[in-house]
A = this chain, B = another copy of it.
Amino acid sequence: MRELIILSALMLSTIHGVAQNYFSDSQKQAWLQKAADNTPKLIHTKIKPEYQVDVVDDTNAFQHKKAIKPRVVKDLYSSSFKDKSGIILDLGDHYTGYFTFSVGEYKSDMDAPLRLKFTFGEVPAEVTTSFDNFHGNISRAWLQDETVTVEQLPATITIPRRLSCRYIKIEDVGSSPYAEFCFTNMEFDAVTSANKKIAELPEYTPAIVRQIDKVAQNTLKECMQTVYEDGPKRDHRLWIGDLYLQMSADNYAFQNRELVKRSLYLMAGLSKDNGYLNHTVFEKPVPHPQRVPFYLYEYALLYNAVLNDYVEQTGDKETALDLWSVAKRQVQLIPDMLDKNQLFSSAKADKANLWQFVDWNEKLNKQVAEQGMYIFALDKTYKLAKSLGKEKEVAYIPGLISQMKKAALTLYDAKQGYFVSGKEKQVSYASQVWMILAKVVDKKQGKEILRRLLKDNKALKPGGPYLYHYVVQALIDCDLNQEAYDLVTTYWGGMIHKGADTFWEVYVPEDDFVSPYNFAPINSYCHAWSCTPIYFIRKYPEIFQKRH
């Protein structure tokens, strides 16, 4: 995920200014040390490119491009490359890592440098779309095309940047007309910290579920590096919102507890002076947060959900106790963001430069969803407190939850049977789902709302997989199992039908070219927050693994 908010110098003192050194430097250093101690060892797998494909037009394929005819390249490593320029190699699956090639002379003496262009693509259209007319609104440098001048042959060169791809297009964009050359080796050094084999699904599991499961595993695996990254092609970093979904999925997949622990400690060690967590952090060159004058507070709140679920899964109370003060701090800003009726106040959030995200759908009014997310976080925090015997320290929470739920119910339009958000009284998936997840309504009422919603074409739909995850969870929580199954198999299944090897950051079934960044090739096509089918499929076998 990427911030698309206009930067502002305004800052709210409660977030950015006062309460200096809420946690001591030595405390933060100790947390960072624990993060470092839990750095996973990356597993390296060498992939040697041997296959090529043709990428052709196909209106039924994703972004109208399809890779066809996978075939072994004849004499790839023993013949002149001159007539192979433009070849598209296929690694056979999505990989994240480093690309090394060796190139030498071929039956001639190179009398000039060689200029080679490599384009690495996660999806076929990425290697056939020109980047020259890039008009995106984030750094063009994320696009994975690299032009290399080889001064002398033979040479072995590693592209310095880490790459994320299945397809590699190689073009000779400058070579001597008097000499030929040959690739003598290529190697993709794939890296991941996913270090466990996952049990196969029962054979009777529907084929589409098994396909979704496999691609979800792959997505998660690729995003597991020295932190849970949001995407291996773009951003390369830990965001708390992604982390929550990744951990949920990983509990049913590779179960790399070390990675969750590292992520929790990294966030804590890099907390702001006032004790609130940054929504995202960088690992390199040294762990640091991003100085930005806005704040994705809803992600900081999800930290408590991560910590609570981590203890539930692992029983590691030592870590949870160590980080309890962090969790306790995160929810303390909630009252400041509420109006006198205990409802989330967009005005207050704006004044505090909070980035309200919820989902990519830009039309979304976020009042109700934020209210739900805050309650959800308070609930997770109190659960955590109870499991650690710390209820007294947050004794205010049950009362606050109760008040906020009551307030939320004032936004329920009984006539329509929906929660309505903002002055415009908008009906959206986001609002209904977060009210259900916050248990503002009971299962029975939630079920009615969701049934209504699924048939309602006017309700504002989710803009991407991140919110769709919460929709599925809400359906399951309301016993709408068939609907949950249908949503997973049509939405994530839709990506499968369009050829996904890993699940995408953005997927709007009606339009393959939707991009929050105004340039589809710069979207991430292997994105953490899209990997959660593995969680649903394996946590709820009765829904997804049954015979259909």
Contact = CB atoms under 8 A, between A and B. Distances in A.
Interface of A: 2-3, 7, 108-109, 111-115, 134, 137-143, 146-147, 149-154, 160-162, 173-178, 235, 282, 284-285, 288-292
The copy count of this chain in the complex is: 2
Contacts of A150: 141
Contacts of A111: 2, 235, 282, 290
A139 B175 contact: yes
Given A176-B139, A177-B138, A109 B162 contact: no
B284 A109 contact: no
B115 A175 contact: no
A178 to B, nearest CB: 7
Contacts of A112: 138-139, 141-142
29 contacts: A3-B178, A109-B282, A109-B289, A109-B290, A111-B282, A112-B138, A113-B139, A113-B141, A113-B142, A114-B141, A115-B139, A137-B177, A138-B176, A138-B177, A139-B174, A139-B175, A139-B177, A140-B173, A140-B174, A141-B149, A141-B173, A141-B174, A141-B175, A143-B174, A146-B147, A151-B160, A151-B162, A152-B284, A178-B292
B161 A149 contact: yes
Contacts of A291: 108-109
Contacts of A160: 149, 151
In the A-B complex, list the 8 residue pairs whose CB atoms are closest, starting with the nearest.
A140-B174, A112-B139, A141-B174, A115-B141, A113-B141, A109-B290, A151-B161, A139-B176
A180 to B, nearest CB: 11
| Residue among A7, A178, A289 with max Cβ neighbours from chain B (10 Å) | A178
A285 B113 contact: no
A6 B127 CA distance: 35
A128 to B, nearest CB: 19
A441 to B, nearest CB: 39
Contacts of A152: 284-285
A438 B244 CA distance: 87
A396 to B, nearest CB: 35
Contacts of A285: 152-154
| Residue among A113, A146, A285, A291 with max Cβ neighbours from chain B (10 Å) | A113
Given A138-B176, A139-B176, 6 more contacts: A109-B282, A140-B174, A141-B174, A141-B175, A151-B162, A152-B285
A191 to B, nearest CB: 14
A160 B284 CA distance: 24
A146 B149 contact: yes
A161 B150 CA distance: 8
Contacts of A2: 111
Nearest to A115: B141
Contacts of A151: 160-162
A121 to B, nearest CB: 16
A425 B30 CA distance: 91
A277 to B, nearest CB: 16
A158 B109 CA distance: 27
A318 B203 CA distance: 86
A143 B173 CA distance: 12
Contact of A7 (B149, B154, B178, B289): B178
Nearest to A292: B178
Contacts of A115: 139-141
A178 B290 CA distance: 10
A115 B136 CA distance: 14
A153 to B, nearest CB: 8
A113 B142 CA distance: 6
A99 B444 CA distance: 69
Contacts of A176: 138-139
Contacts of A177: 137-139
Contacts of A137: 177
Contact of A161 (B113, B138, B292): B113
Contacts of A139: 112-115, 174-177
A285 to B, nearest CB: 6
A304 B517 CA distance: 67
| Residue among A150, A177, A235 with max Cβ neighbours from chain B (10 Å) | A177
A289 B147 CA distance: 28
A177 to B, nearest CB: 7
A285 B111 CA distance: 12
Contacts of A108: 291
